[in-house]
């Protein structure tokens, strides 16, 4: 079946489209030079032989014995292709080296996230929601292969064993590979019940020698990202966006652009309340399209645009914090706790907008043809996008197909609540069609559009006060958070907003400490013109910072060691305490740090935080130079994510999460002036570089609890751990992020 | 008209010679292993070798390659150092999203060609022009040491 005939709601079992490395393309078409064109390749690749065995939507076994796992979650680097395949292969007793992975098409009926009921990758849920589902998929296939062998050999299924993709009959010495049994297994009924392994029998889950499935293709340049896909006749669209959110095209002089050889069309297109309108220049070659875009002379209508700067926004938030907000959580008698505090700690925190800045800038390939819309994209939210694009095009959602590609990072950006960049790609294609240009169109944002494209981690302001009693016990915690809601007004509002309180605005604030009197307040500014979105670990990016630096301040005020100070406050939270203790022990907490060079000050800081049901503690060691510059030398990290499915991927996610969190802590800031984003590329929106990366040591708590996520939970503790270490070294409290040059003043 | 070799194969081009090599490779030749990340020599995703030297192809016009040998990620395994770097990357499971890794491998290969046994400080200095937003830096350092060991 050709991809052109696919529909989202009634997909053929043969229609899984390969995700998508050029090696497979080349196989699929017998060596078409470099797999240049996707169209014919997909058609060829979709023709899996009739002898393939597909017991369910997640496994396919070819006559040559290759096991293909169909991944319902997108691989953005977090290792989900490897994790999902591990779960299937474990129960299948497959040969890991013969397992490959394809991205699933958009089809929530088969590929929904079981926690969300929609096809979404997010909230660090991939392993948690798939743990049983994928194992059952593998176990089902295994049972059918065993039945097929038992019938052929006329023996009892119980007398057969399976290992490394081969079914054995010990008594007779007979054996057959999965490929040899595939055709026969395909004719058997699918069992409704299957038995899963006892965890003590796992041979892949929890083991260290299970390499990533995407490692080879990502080290030889073959892995295909949206940026790399090309359809016959495809045009690249490079766009001019308005400098301010909410501005529209007033007029455009395209004469210079149209003179550039290779420019095919100049296409103004309308935006919506949530997506940019602008002017697209279409060409076969990205460079030509960019030259054309740079030659445009566009006048913008700024009458409706957003014109505030970050300083003004922050000033407004400060004012809002001095008026009562909505109470998100409350316990005890907070006013009484602050009536006569023995020690009072007061602190204001400011957190800027942050851009995800994935290495692959946003892009999306769209083909509008015959009342259908085909999308090629690496993305986290297929169901949301199907519905949004269907509405935009006046089509049924099943007329929107999405081929899943690798994403060059995402960090939440490719889970766009308003499908912003996909919707823009469709708007460009629609406008082009009106001009008679009916080609597949790949919208490609340059780094500048990506940096200025909004959908940022929202700017937040917190005002906090803590009250300690004469014995140094923490008795009052009052924290007021002010910032835009990520969920309000989106299709997901009903899932996270209750009585006007967006749960992700306050998630993690003050948690989980056992404090008798506590109030968490929230003020949510009405719609601002700056679009906001989740950003790797979402609300925890700011709540963990405030919470964990406040606790450190309280410990210091009480004259206690920060780890010991937490002990009674975590009495009901053994998993927090477990990672905290483990990180402290492995880091040599309480021992003296080796001194730095003359004039250098060194310090150690600790933080612990739960997010997405995983528990992470980190100890950071810093060296502050005489000029106030500083370096994070080493981070010791302990993680409890339940049963560890792939320990090496977990380690990698902690390492990467630490680096990502450190980038935000040290440098990350999107600022606006008169509504214009001041940053544009990596020189002024700095991310972490290798010379700033600390040595990282990761320890995983052995656990038999249900597996939980690791993509995000490594991020929240690092910024407060570093801030606490800087305090230990210098006595200086950082309460405004990023750190920037604050220690130099 | 300019002439050069790419991964050992002769090519000539007489189009827009100001076009950055990056877009020539990606859009004219469909060699998409070399990535676009910034277009301003800030991120290293587009790194290729020109006569063995690392260059940022996003700011290198095609004209600058005239008469030269271009090596890209697709051809880096033709030489021993490139193969060792790729093998070390796989052994230590460096990649995450993978988008930066072609550039990382090209820069690391050039580093090891110039310095057989780089220290951490050498690695940081040579690699700091290559951004990895997934922050695979711990493993990049370790993999360069591993490749150096395997080549010794
Ligand atoms: S794309 Fe060339 S250095 Fe970033
Ligand atoms: S692996 Fe994702 S940017 Fe480096």
CB contact under 8 A, B141 and A690: yes
A408 touches chain B (CB under 8 A): yes
pTM metric for this prediction? 0.94
**Residue of A452, A664, A690, A712 to mutate, testing the B interface (most B Cβ within 10 Å of its Cβ):** A690
- A420 vs A407: CA distance, rounded Å: 16
Locate the domains of chain A by residue range. 11-220, 228-303+362-444, 310-354+455-542, 560-744
Q: What's the pLDDT score for residue A116?
A: 86
Q: Which fold has domain A560-744?
A: Aldehyde Oxidoreductase; domain 4 (3.30.365)
pLDDT tens, B105-141? 999 999 999 999 999 999 999 999 999 999 999 999 9
Letter string b/e over residues A80-111, b meaning 16 or more CB atoms within 10 A of that residue's CB: bbbbbbbbbbbbbbbbbebbbbbbbbbbbebb
- What is the per-residue pLDDT for A6? 29
* pLDDT tens readout for residues B96-111: 999 999 999 999 999 9
- Restricting to A residues 676-705, those with a Cβ less than 8 Å away from any Cβ of B are 681-683, 687-691, 693, 695-696
Helices A540-558, A562-569: axis angle to 10 degrees equals 110
Of how many residues is chain B composed? 152
A359 lines ligand 2 (CB under 6 A): yes
Measure in Å the smallest separation between the Cα of A283 and chain B Cα atoms.
11
Contact A663, A409 (CB under 8 A): no
The answer to whether residue A216 neighbours chain B at the CB level (below 8 Å) is yes
Under a CB-based contact definition with an 8 Å cutoff, are residues A436 and A282 in contact?
no
Separation CA B58–CA B35 (nearest Å)? 9
Q: How many CB atoms lie within 10 A of CB A32?
A: 14
- Average pLDDT (A545-571) is 98
Which residue carries 């597909």 as its tokens? A54
In this prediction, residue A325 carries a pLDDT of 97
Report CB contact under 8 Å: A691, B128. yes
Residue nearest to atom 4 of ligand 2 (CA): B132
A649 and A547 Cβ atoms separated by less than 8 Å? no
Tell me what pLDDT residue A39 has: 35
Contact A139, A22 (CB under 8 A): no
In chain A, positions 662-681, which contact chain B (CB-CB < 8 Å)?
A: 662-663, 681
Is a pLDDT exceeding 80 seen at residue A24? no
Contacts of A693 in chain B (CB under 8 A): 135, 137-138, 141
pLDDT tens column, A326-357: 999 999 999 999 999 999 999 999 999 999 99
Q: How far is the centre of ligand 2, averaged over its atoms, from the C-alpha of A677 (Å)?
A: 25
How far off is chain B from A32, nearest CA to CA, in Å?
Answer: 12
pLDDT at residue A209, as a whole number: 87
The dihedral of CA A286, A287, A290, A291: what is its sign? negative
Contacts of B142 in chain A (CB under 8 A): none
Our answer on whether the CB atom of B78 is closer than 6 Å to any ligand 2 atom is no
3-state secondary structure A336-381: HHCCCCCEEEEEEEEECEECCCCCCCCEEEEEEECCEEEEEECCCC
Report the pLDDT averaged over residues B58-75.
Answer: 98
Query: Smallest Cβ distance to B128: which of A214, A690, A695?
Result: A690
Q: Beta strand pairing status for A235-240 and A372-377?
A: unpaired
Task: Please report the pLDDT score of residue A250 as a whole number.
Answer: 97
Q: For strand A460-468 and strand A343-351, is the pairing parallel, antiparallel, or unpaired?
A: antiparallel
Whether ligand 2 lies within 6 angstroms of the CB of A215 is answered as: no
Q: Going by C-beta distance under 8 Å and a sequence separation of 6 or more, which residues neighbour residue A254?
A: A266, A279, A296, A297
What is the mean pLDDT of the segment spanning A487-495?
90
ipTM score? 0.98
Mean local confidence (pLDDT), A197-209: 95
Is A656 near ligand 2, meaning CB less than 6 Å away? no
Q: Convert the pLDDT of each residue in A376-398 to its tens digit.
A: 999 999 999 999 999 999 999 99
User: In the CATH hierarchy, which fold is given to the domain comprising B76-151?
Assistant: DNA polymerase; domain 1 (1.10.150)
Contacts of B92 in chain A (CB under 8 A): none
Contact residues, chain B, for A652 at CB < 8 Å: 93, 96, 136, 139
- What is the reported pLDDT for A592? 95
B45 lines ligand 2 (CB under 6 A): no
Sign of the dihedral through C-alpha A27, A32, A37, A41: negative
Q: Is the pLDDT of residue A9 over 50?
A: no
CA-derived radius of gyration, chain B:
15
Q: Given this chain, do its domains A11-220 and A310-354+455-542 carry the same CATH topology?
A: yes
Is the dihedral angle over the CA atoms A389, A390, A395, A399 positive or is it negative?
A: positive
Mean pLDDT of A358-370: 97
pLDDT tens profile A681-701: 999 999 999 999 999 999 999
pLDDT of A664 over the 90 cut? yes
CA B103 to ligand 1 centroid distance, Å: 9
CB pairs under 8 A between A and B: 187
| Distance of alpha carbon A495 from alpha carbon A488, whole angstroms | 10
The CATH architecture assigned to A228-303+362-444 reads: 2-Layer Sandwich (3.30)
Alpha-carbon distance of A540 to A507, in angstroms, equals 6
Per-domain residue ranges of chain B: 2-71, 76-151
pLDDT, position A700: 98
- pLDDT score of A447: 98
- Is residue B36 within 6 Å of ligand 2 at its C-beta? no
Q: Which residues of B touch A221 (CB under 8 A)?
A: 31-34, 72-74, 102
Q: Give me the torsion for CA of B114, B119, B120, B123, rounded to 10°.
A: 0
B30 reaches A (C-beta below 8 A): yes
Phi and psi of B56, rounded to 5°? Answer: -90, 110
Is A310-354+455-542 a domain of CATH 3.30.365.10? yes
The CATH number fitting domain A11-220, selected from 2.40.128.20, 3.10.20.70, 3.30.365.10, 1.10.1040.10: 3.30.365.10
Residue for token pair 């700067």? A309
Instruction: Write down the CATH number for the domain with range B2-71.
Output: 3.10.20.30
Q: What is the pLDDT of residues A268-326, one digit of tens each?
A: 999 999 999 999 999 999 999 999 999 999 999 999 999 999 999 999 999 999 999 99
Q: What is the pLDDT of residues A107-143, one digit of tens each?
A: 999 999 988 888 988 888 889 899 999 999 999 999 9
Angle at A163 between CA A57 and CA A98, to 5 degrees: 55
Task: Kindly give the distance from the C-alpha atom of residue A209 to the centroid of ligand 1, in angstroms, as a whole number.
Answer: 34
What is the rounded CA–CA span in Å between residue A563 and residue A608?
Answer: 10
What is the dihedral sign for C-alpha A484, A488, A489, A490?
Answer: positive
Q: What is the pLDDT of residue A117?
A: 86
CA A384 / ligand 2 centre spacing (Å): 26
- Radius of gyration of chain A from its Cα atoms, rounded to whole angstroms: 27
């Amino acid at each position: 079946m050709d991809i052109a005939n696919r529909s989202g709601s009634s997909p053929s079992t043969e229609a899984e489209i390969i995700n998508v490395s050029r090696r497979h393309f080349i196989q699929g078409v017998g060596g078409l030079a470099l797999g240049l064109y996707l169209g014919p390749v997909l058609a060829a690749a979709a023709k899996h032989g009739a002898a393939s065995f597909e017991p369910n939507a997640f496994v396919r076994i070819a006559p040559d014995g290759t096991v293909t796992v169909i991944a319902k979650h997108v691989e953005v680097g977090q290792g989900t292709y490897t994790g999902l395949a591990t779960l299937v292969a474990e129960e299948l007793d497959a040969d890991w080296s013969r397992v490959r992975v394809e991205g699933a098409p958009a089809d929530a009926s088969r590929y929904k996230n079981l926690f969300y009921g929609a096809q979404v990758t997010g909230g660090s849920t991939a392993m948690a929601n798939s743990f049983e589902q994928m194992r059952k998929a593998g176990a089902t296939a295994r049972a059918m292969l065993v039945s097929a062998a038992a019938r052929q050999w006329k023996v009892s299924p119980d007398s057969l064993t399976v290992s490394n993709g081969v079914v054995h009959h010990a008594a007779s010495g007979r054996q057959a590979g999965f490929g040899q049994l595939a055709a026969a297994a395909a004719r058997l009924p699918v069992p409704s019940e299957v038995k899963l392994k006892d965890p003590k029998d796992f041979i892949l889950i929890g083991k260290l020698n299970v390499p990533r499935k995407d490692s080879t293709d990502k080290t030889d340049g073959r892995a295909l990202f949206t940026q790399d896909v090309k359809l016959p006749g495809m045009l690249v669209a490079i766009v001019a966006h308005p400098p301010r959110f909410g501005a529209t095209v007033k007029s455009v002089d395209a004469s210079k652009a149209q003179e550039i050889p290779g420019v095919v069309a100049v296409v103004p297109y309308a935006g919506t309340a949530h997506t940019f309108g602008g002017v697209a220049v279409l060409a076969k070659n990205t460079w030509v399209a960019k030259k054309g875009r740079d030659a445009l002379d566009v006048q913008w209508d700024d009458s409706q645009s957003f014109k505030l700067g970050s300083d003004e926004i922050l000033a407004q938030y400060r004012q809002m914090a001095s008026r009562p907000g909505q109470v998100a959580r409350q316990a005890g008698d907070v006013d009484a706790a602050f009536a006569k505090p023995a020690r009072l700690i007061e602190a204001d925190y400011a957190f800027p907008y942050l851009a995800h800045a994935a290495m692959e800038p946003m892009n999306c390939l769209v083909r509008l043809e015959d009342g259908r819309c085909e999308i090629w994209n690496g993305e986290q939210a297929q169901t949301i996008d199907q519905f949004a694009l269907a509405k935009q095009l006046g089509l049924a959602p099943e007329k929107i197909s999405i081929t899943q590609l690798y994403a060059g990072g995402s960090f939440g950006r490719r889970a766009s609540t308003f499908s912003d960049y996909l919707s823009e790609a469709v708007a460009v294609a629609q406008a082009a069609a009106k001009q008679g240009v009916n080609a597949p169109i790949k919208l490609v944002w340059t780094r500048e559009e990506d940096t200025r494209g909004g959908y940022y981690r929202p700017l937040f302001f917190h005002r906090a006060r803590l009250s300690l009693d004469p014995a140094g016990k923490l008795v009052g915690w009052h924290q007021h958070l002010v910032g835009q809601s990520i969920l309000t007004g989106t299709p997901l509002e009903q899932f996270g907003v209750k009585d006007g309180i967006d749960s992700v605005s306050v998630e993690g604030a003050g948690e989980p400490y056992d404090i008798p009197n506590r109030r968490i307040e929230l003020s949510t500014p009405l719609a601002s013109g700056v679009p906001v979105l989740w950003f790797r670990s979402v609300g925890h990016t700011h709540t963990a910072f405030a919470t964990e630096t406040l606790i450190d301040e309280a410990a210091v005020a009480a004259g206690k060691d920060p780890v010991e100070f937490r002990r009674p406050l975590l009495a009901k939270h053994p998993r927090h305490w477990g990672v905290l203790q483990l990180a402290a022990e492995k880091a040599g907490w309480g021992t003296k740090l080796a001194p730095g060079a003359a004039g250098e000050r060194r310090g150690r800081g600790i933080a612990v935080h739960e997010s997405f049901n995983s528990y992470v503690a980190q100890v950071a060691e810093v060296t502050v130079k005489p000029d106030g510059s500083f370096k994070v030398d080493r981070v010791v990290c302990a993680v409890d994510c339940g049963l560890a499915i792939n320990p090496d991927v977990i380690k990698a996610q902690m390492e990467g999460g630490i680096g990502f969190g450190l980038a935000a802590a040290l440098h990350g800031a999107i600022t606006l002036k008169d509504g214009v984003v001041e940053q544009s590329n990596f020189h002024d929106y700095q991310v972490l570089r290798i010379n700033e990366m600390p040595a990282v040591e990761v320890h995983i708590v052995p656990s038999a609890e249900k597996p939980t996520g690791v993509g995000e939970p490594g991020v929240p503790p690092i910024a407060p751990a570093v801030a606490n270490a800087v305090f230990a070294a210098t006595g200086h409290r950082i309460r405004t992020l990023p750190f920037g040059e604050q220690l130099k003043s | 008209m300019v002439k050069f070799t790419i991964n050992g194969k002769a090519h000539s081009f007489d189009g827009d010679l100001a076009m950055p090599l990056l877009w020539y490779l990606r859009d004219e030749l469909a060699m998409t292993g070399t990535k676009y990340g910034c277009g301003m020599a800030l991120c290293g995703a587009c790194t290729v070798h020109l006569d063995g030297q690392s260059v940022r192809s996003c700011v290198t016009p095609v004209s600058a390659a005239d008469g030269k040998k271009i090596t890209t990620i697709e051809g880096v395994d033709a030489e021993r150092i490139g193969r060792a770097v790729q093998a070390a990357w796989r052994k230590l499971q460096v990649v995450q999203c993978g988008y930066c890794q072609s550039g990382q491998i090209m820069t690391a290969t050039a580093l090891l060609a110039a310095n057989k046994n780089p220290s951490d400080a050498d690695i940081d200095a040579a690699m700091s022009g290559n951004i990895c937003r997934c922050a695979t830096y711990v493993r990049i350092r370790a993999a360069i040491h591993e490749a150096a060991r395997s080549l010794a």
